[in-house]
Amino acid sequence: MYSHTYLRDLITAIFSKMGCSKEDASTIAEILLKAELRNIPSHGILRIKDYHLLWKEGRINVSPEIRIIHETPGTAVVDADNAFGMVGAKRSMEIAIEKASSTGSGWVATRNSNHFGIAGYYAMMALEHDMMGFCVTNANPTVAPTFAVERLLGTNPVAFAVPANREHAFVADFATTPIPRGKIALAEKKGEKLPAGFVQDDKGYTSEDPSVLRRGGAILPLGGDRLHGSHKGFCMSSMVDILSGVISGANFGPFVPPGVAYLPRKDKQVGKGTGHFFGAVRIDGFMPGDEFRKRMDEWIRTFRNGRPAEGQEKIIIPGDPEREAEERILQEGIRLVPAVRDDLKAVADELGIKFE
Amino acid sequence: MYSHTYLRDLITAIFSKMGCSKEDASTIAEILLKAELRNIPSHGILRIKDYHLLWKEGRINVSPEIRIIHETPGTAVVDADNAFGMVGAKRSMEIAIEKASSTGSGWVATRNSNHFGIAGYYAMMALEHDMMGFCVTNANPTVAPTFAVERLLGTNPVAFAVPANREHAFVADFATTPIPRGKIALAEKKGEKLPAGFVQDDKGYTSEDPSVLRRGGAILPLGGDRLHGSHKGFCMSSMVDILSGVISGANFGPFVPPGVAYLPRKDKQVGKGTGHFFGAVRIDGFMPGDEFRKRMDEWIRTFRNGRPAEGQEKIIIPGDPEREAEERILQEGIRLVPAVRDDLKAVADELGIKFE
């Protein structure tokens, strides 16, 4: 069990040693640890091994010049200059917030970026400015559209954060697939079958075998099959890809670069790097902040107090489980599974940083 | 079989006779017919009977004063003054487009409105201005959130339209449930069972009986059950409800008024009428329009040319089936099923308008 501050200093040191500025290293540490605290370890310290490998292969720029390459009062395109994803993403969301301050809403499409951790972090940045926050990103293709066998989309998550008053903020942060990739890998490791509706084989038939992903299979869009609305999951994932990849000038669809070092760069590129899209919307662009936050309180209470199904305890408001985890883990400390701790130790050792 | 122009004139006459201005009547006719042409008859002429009943009961204002009650350069709240939904919705999207012209993006939340037909119509209005269009609406509650038995959400659709160059525009328009309500009613009428994953009974257990909806049951969010990601469908539907109902000052969640006359008004109201939310985003707020549209062409071709699953013909790009239907039905004419034709005839007769 490690304290949040110990790991923060360690991770900051690791990324500083790779050549990141102190500020960038501390941004990366903060966002990776936010994933740990919110109990989304698949997007936390687990990733450091791959980030380090990508850096060693020269696939990441640790001294990026992040700049706006096109803008209007309410929109911008940011080139992240191949930075670690968190660095360009945080700056992009800051720009969206600045633009929202003056025009009511700000929208930033980011190209030439990399894997950026949890989308929810950036959406939540808007909350302290009394804004709603929005963030999506495309990702390495693992998902087949409805009726397809090819992997043409990533798990393309959507995050949306809305402030409340006495209640905690509403924070949705979800992949546009029924299940995250990490859970499939875990089932394979354990030799377990998957429930139907998560993956398909290389001919497009639904499969319960998690290993099909390594043999031409694919993850299904949210909905699972056409009958149950997978074309709607495909629509959502497409919207994320168009915003993140097409209008930003990044790569889209099957051309999105991998976020891990063991996968090679793609031959064909249709833009620069991975793409994200950020939005900030001022609450008082619509109604006084106080009035809105009280309405959100009533929305949240209405849903939280809804009658639960038989055998269920309560209705879960988006963001509740992650926030409760954050309060608990901040107290208790962060537990690293042995494999992740060993990987972190190997990176620290290689960079000459003490970790025990 | 009726020609588009014949029905357009008939429907315009019907709404004019109810007291709508010529312009409003023709807006309503155009949007209802767009649903017929795009082969979404559940949102077309079928609705006229209910619109007429709502009007007879004094639940619709045919001489609305639609006005902006709050705004910034890029955002606004519109009060639709209890107009037929199409009238306030079209005006609201026009305002979003005007605001996008000056700031890069425009966002309008509309309160005090009613059922507005197909969301895709409004999103598509942006296309001719070289903008992306976005539209969502809340709706009469029929959907239970994950773990709930209460109906707290509507089928809350999302529409998103993106221009292309030589390819046709990308147009997604989908409910955030696996299946539209109309299909459930149809199965019940035919005495058919539903596949699992569409509805649940009054205790929250999945059911194959379409009639459970009349006995305390509910439609499930996209994803079906928690295991298959229904909490993600719940997140999406919540996002639609917050944008449409909370920030607009309309009703939200279980308080959204019914769109049909046989259901009574709700006792408790938390705002005014039904709510919608509209967005328009200028393409050249991000990159030159030409460049973007060519990129969209490549996106569309990449997906259209993806390898289909065994037994499938091709991958369907969102908007393709509706556009193909529109081309065909505009040629062939609009077929009304006998029950809908009879209802239309009854309304026309009652208003003293000739229809044969």
Please list, residue by residue across B324-340, b when 16 or more beta carbons sit within 10 angstroms of its beta carbon and e when fewer do: eebeebeeeebebeeeb
**Inter-chain contact A307–B150, Cβ cutoff 8 Å?**
yes
Whether B27 and B108 share a structural domain: no
Q: Which chain A residues are within 8 Å of B253, Cβ to Cβ?
A: 299, 302-303
- CA neighbor of A108 nearest in space, from A127, A82, A129, A80: A80
Structure confidence by residue, pLDDT tens digits, B68-93:
999 999 999 999 999 999 999 999 99
- pLDDT for residue B237 is more than 80: yes
Residues pairing with B36 in the sheet: none
**Inter-chain contact B310–A203, Cβ cutoff 8 Å?**
yes
Element holding B11 (H helix, E strand): helix B4-17
Whether A234 and A284 share a structural domain: yes
Structure confidence by residue, pLDDT tens digits, A83-132:
999 999 999 999 999 999 999 999 999 999 999 999 999 999 999 999 99
Number of domain units in chain B: 3
What is d(CA B79, CA B58) in angstroms, rounded to the nearest whole number? 18
The domain of B38 spans 1-61+319-356
Average pLDDT over every residue of A138-156 = 97
> Positive or negative, the Cα torsion across B292, B295, B300, B303?
negative
Element holding B231 (H helix, E strand): helix B230-241
- CA neighbor of B218 nearest in space, from B146, B163, B273: B146
Instruction: Output the domain CATH number for residue A234.
Output: 3.30.1370.60
- Segment B57-65 long-range contacts (CB within 8 Å, at least 24 positions apart): B57/B261, B59/B261, B59/B265, B60/B84, B60/B114, B62/B15, B62/B18, B62/B19, B62/B20, B62/B24, B63/B19, B63/B21, B64/B88
- The answer to whether residue A208 is domain-embedded is no
Taking residue A56's Cβ as centre, other Cβ atoms within 10 Å add up to: 13
Q: In the prediction, which pLDDT does A185 show?
A: 82
Q: Are B107 and A272 in contact (CB under 8 A)?
A: no
Q: Distance between terminal CA atoms of chain B? A: 11
What is d(CA B129, CA B108) in angstroms, rounded to the nearest whole number? 17
Whether A6 and A149 share a structural domain: no
**Inter-chain contact A315–B146, Cβ cutoff 8 Å?**
yes
Which amino acid does the sequence have at A72? T
Who's near A179: CB < 8 A, 6+ residues apart? A194, A198, A219, B229
- pLDDT for residue A181 is more than 90: no
Instruction: Output the domain CATH number for residue B193.
Output: 3.30.60.50
pLDDT above 70: percentage of residues in chain B: 100
**Inter-chain contact A229–B299, Cβ cutoff 8 Å?**
no
Whether B120 and B264 share a structural domain: yes
Whether A300 and A330 share a structural domain: no
What is d(CA A154, CA A135) in angstroms, rounded to the nearest whole number? 15
User: Which residue in B97, B286, B295, B299 has the most chain A C-beta atoms within 10 A of its own C-beta, making it the best mutation to test that interface?
Assistant: B286
Whether A156 and A293 share a structural domain: yes
What is d(CA A241, CA B296) in angstroms, rounded to the nearest whole number? 11
Q: Which chain B residues are within 8 Å of A144, Cβ to Cβ?
A: 309
**Could you give the strand order of the β-sheet that contains B218-219, starting from the edge strand earlier in sequence?**
B206-207, B199-200, B218-219
Contact B107/A at CB under 8 A: yes
CA B203 vs CA A52, A112, A312: distances in Å: 51, 50, 10
What is d(CA A48, CA A29) in angstroms, rounded to the nearest whole number? 10
Q: In the prediction, which pLDDT does A190 show?
A: 87
- pLDDT for residue A261 is more than 90: no
Task: Determine the distance in angstroms separating the CA of A267 from the nearest CA of chain B, rounded to an integer.
Answer: 15
- The answer to whether residue B261 is domain-embedded is yes
DSSP B245: I
Query: From the list A105, A149, A270, which residue is nearest B309 (CB)?
Result: A149
What is d(CA A162, CA A227) in angstroms, rounded to the nearest whole number? 32
- The answer to whether residue B224 is domain-embedded is no
Q: Chain A 129-158, CB below 8 Å of chain B: which residues?
A: 132, 144-150, 152, 158
CA A339 vs CA A45, B276, B322: distances in Å: 11, 49, 51
Q: In the prediction, which pLDDT does A107 show?
A: 98
Model confidence band, residue A5 (pLDDT cutoffs 50, 70, 90):
very high
Give the mean pLDDT of chain A.
96
Q: Which chain A residues are within 8 Å of B299, Cβ to Cβ?
A: 241-242, 245-246, 252-253
The residue with tokens 């760069």 is A265
What is d(CA B242, CA B271) in angstroms, rounded to the nearest whole number? 12
Q: In the prediction, which pLDDT does B260 show?
A: 83
Token code pair at residue A269: 């590129």
- The answer to whether residue A310 is domain-embedded is yes
Q: Are A131 and A285 in contact (CB under 8 A)?
A: no
Model confidence band, residue A265 (pLDDT cutoffs 50, 70, 90):
confident
Model confidence band, residue B183 (pLDDT cutoffs 50, 70, 90):
confident
Q: In the prediction, which pLDDT does B299 show?
A: 98
Structure confidence by residue, pLDDT tens digits, B242-297:
999 999 999 999 999 998 888 888 889 999 999 999 999 999 999 999 999 999 99
- CA neighbor of B314 nearest in space, from A146, A251, A348, A95: A146
Whether B183 and B271 share a structural domain: no
Which one of B199, B219, B239 terminates a domain?
A: B219
Query: From the list B73, B146, B287, which residue is nearest A103 (CB)?
Result: B73
Average pLDDT over every residue of B104-117 = 97
Q: Are A279 and A95 in contact (CB under 8 A)?
A: no
**Inter-chain contact B232–A175, Cβ cutoff 8 Å?**
yes
Which one of B166, B187, B219 terminates a domain?
A: B219
**Inter-chain contact B148–A306, Cβ cutoff 8 Å?**
yes
**Inter-chain contact B107–A285, Cβ cutoff 8 Å?**
yes
Identify how many contiguous H helices and E strands chain A contains and give both numbers. Answer: 10, 10
**Inter-chain contact A242–B296, Cβ cutoff 8 Å?**
yes
Q: In the prediction, which pLDDT does A260 show?
A: 84
What is d(CA B301, CA B296) in angstroms, rounded to the nearest whole number? 8
pLDDT above 90: percentage of residues in chain A: 92
Token code pair at residue B170: 């990308």
Whether A52 and A138 share a structural domain: no
Q: Chain A 196-255, CB below 8 Å of chain B: which residues?
A: 197-198, 200, 203-205, 222-224, 227-229, 231-236, 238-239, 241-242, 245-249, 252-254
- The answer to whether residue B31 is domain-embedded is yes
**Inter-chain contact A103–B104, Cβ cutoff 8 Å?**
yes
- The answer to whether residue A120 is domain-embedded is yes
What is the DSSP code string of A106-175?
EEEEEEEE---S-HHHHHHHTGGGTEEEEEEE--S--BPPTTB-S--B----EEEEE--SSSPPEEEEE-
Structure confidence by residue, pLDDT tens digits, B318-340:
999 999 999 999 999 999 999 99
Whether B269 and B144 share a structural domain: yes
Q: In the prediction, which pLDDT does B265 show?
A: 83
Comparing alpha-carbon positions, the chain A residue that sits nearest to B232 is A174
Residues pairing with A70 in the sheet: A77
Average pLDDT over every residue of A206-220 = 94
Q: In the prediction, which pLDDT does B180 show?
A: 81
Q: In the prediction, which pLDDT does B295 show?
A: 98
Task: Determine the distance in angstroms separating the CA of A30 from the nearest CA of chain B, rounded to an integer.
Answer: 26
- The answer to whether residue B333 is domain-embedded is yes
Which one of B194, B219, B244 terminates a domain?
A: B219
Token code pair at residue B172: 């997604």
Average pLDDT over every residue of B47-73 = 96
User: Which residue in A102, A151, A286 has the most chain B C-beta atoms within 10 A of its own C-beta, making it the best mutation to test that interface?
Assistant: A286
Whether B70 and B159 share a structural domain: yes
**Inter-chain contact A246–B296, Cβ cutoff 8 Å?**
yes
What is d(CA A91, CA A205) in angstroms, rounded to the nearest whole number? 42
**Could you give the strand order of the β-sheet that contains B131-137, starting from the edge strand earlier in sequence?**
B67-72, B75-79, B105-113, B274-282, B131-137, B158-162, B170-174
- The answer to whether residue A189 is domain-embedded is no
Give the mean pLDDT of chain B.
96
Three-state secondary structure readout of A49-114? HHHHHHHHCCCCCCCCCCEEEEECCCEEEEECCCCCHHHHHHHHHHHHHHHHHHHCEEEEEEEEEC
- pLDDT for residue A254 is more than 80: yes
Structure confidence by residue, pLDDT tens digits, A40-93:
999 999 999 999 999 999 999 999 999 999 999 999 999 999 999 999 999 999
CA A299 vs CA A168, A313, B185, B257, B343: distances in Å: 12, 19, 29, 16, 38
Whether B199 and B289 share a structural domain: no
